Amino acid sequence: MRILILGGTRFLGRAVAQLAVRQGHDVTCAARGVSGVVPTGARFVPVDRDDPDALVSLGGEGFDAVVDVTRQVSHARHALAALADHVGHWSFVSTISVYADNTTPGQTATDAPVLAPAPPDVDGPVGADHRWYGECKVSIERLVRERMGVARSFVCRAGLIVGAEDPSDRFPYWVRRLAAGGEVLAPGRPTDRVQFVDVADLAAWLLHAAEARLAGTYDAVGPAMSRADLLAGVAAGLGVADPVLTWVDQEFLLSRDVREWSGERALPLWVRLPEGGGLMDRDARPALEAGLAVRPLSDTVRATASWMTAHPAAVRQGGLDPVDEAAVLREWQAVRNG
Nearest distance from C-beta of residue 11 to ligand NAP, angstroms: 3
Q: Which residue type, as a one-letter code, is found at position 243?
A: P
Q: What is the CA radius of gyration of the chain?
A: 21
Q: For residues 31 and 42, which CB has a smaller minimum distance to ligand NAP in the complex?
A: 31
Q: For residues 123 and 324, which CB has a smaller minimum distance to ligand NAP in the complex?
A: 123
Q: Nearest 5°: phi and psi at 298?
A: -60, -35
Q: Give the SS3 label for residue 273.
A: coil
Nearest distance from C-beta of residue 137 to ligand NAP, angstroms: 7
* List of residues 6+ apart from 136 with CB closer than 8 A: 71, 72, 73, 118, 122, 123, 124, 125
Q: For residues 243 and 278, which CB has a smaller minimum distance to ligand NAP in the complex?
A: 278
Nearest distance from C-beta of residue 234 to ligand NAP, angstroms: 17
Sign, Cα dihedral of 136, 141, 145, 148: positive
Nearest distance from C-beta of residue 133 to ligand NAP, angstroms: 7
Q: In the Cβ-directed half-sphere of 151, how many Cα atoms lie within 13 Å?
A: 0
Nearest distance from C-beta of residue 277 to ligand NAP, angstroms: 18
Q: Which of 154, 150, 304 is nearest to 237 (CA)?
A: 304
Q: For residues 203 and 258, which CB has a smaller minimum distance to ligand NAP in the complex?
A: 203
User: What is the distance between the alpha carbons of residues 180 and 121, in angstroms, rounded to a whole number?
Assistant: 47
Distances (CA, A) of 101 to 66, 111, 181, 198, 300: 30, 12, 37, 24, 29
233 within 8 A of 243, measured Cβ to Cβ: no
Q: For residues 49 and 147, which CB has a smaller minimum distance to ligand NAP in the complex?
A: 49
25 within 8 A of 2, measured Cβ to Cβ: yes
Q: For residues 37 and 240, which CB has a smaller minimum distance to ligand NAP in the complex?
A: 37
Q: For residues 49 and 176, which CB has a smaller minimum distance to ligand NAP in the complex?
A: 49
Beta-strand pair 193-194/225-226: antiparallel
Nearest distance from C-beta of residue 33 to ligand NAP, angstroms: 5
Q: For residues 11 and 270, which CB has a smaller minimum distance to ligand NAP in the complex?
A: 11
* List of residues 6+ apart from 214 with CB closer than 8 A: 154, 208, 290, 291
Nearest distance from C-beta of residue 180 to ligand NAP, angstroms: 23
Q: For residues 36 and 190, which CB has a smaller minimum distance to ligand NAP in the complex?
A: 36
* List of residues 6+ apart from 288 with CB closer than 8 A: 223, 294
Nearest distance from C-beta of residue 259 to ligand NAP, angstroms: 17
Q: Which residues bind ligand NAP (CB under 6 A)?
A: 7-13, 31-35, 47-50, 69, 71, 93, 95, 158, 160-161, 168
For residue 204, with 0-12 CB atoms within 10 Å meaning exposed, 13-18 middle and 19 or more buried, which class applies? buried
Nearest distance from C-beta of residue 325 to ligand NAP, angstroms: 23
Host H or E run for residue 94: strand 87-95
